[in-house]
Amino acid sequence: MVEQNMSLAAAGIAFFMVWAFFPALTLIVVVGAMLLGKAHVLAWLSSVRLDLPESVNVVVIAQLDAIAERSRGLSIATVAGAL
């Protein structure tokens, strides 16, 4: 493990996974709001809210709620960003 710098590789993977998590979550919320509707996405977010710590609920879920509310205007930007 030391010769191949496995700890450094694991730290790099974890770092980039954290940076990729929030844009991916935003894309899921926007696409879900476009396909399923805002009500389904907000219901899903309320069920996710039960499993997360309170500090995450305050920041992340509130932002995802706001994104789901405005998802109709973001459809062109979402398609362009996904491509």
Q: Which residue has the higher pLDDT, 8 or 79?
A: 8
- Which pLDDT belongs to residue 81? 62
Q: What are 5-39's pLDDT values in tens digits?
A: 888 889 999 999 888 887 887 788 777 877 887 77
- Which pLDDT belongs to residue 75? 61
Confidence of residue 64 (pLDDT cuts 50, 70, 90): confident
Contacts of 71 (CB under 8 A, 6+ apart): 29, 30, 33, 34, 38, 41, 78
- Which pLDDT belongs to residue 79? 65
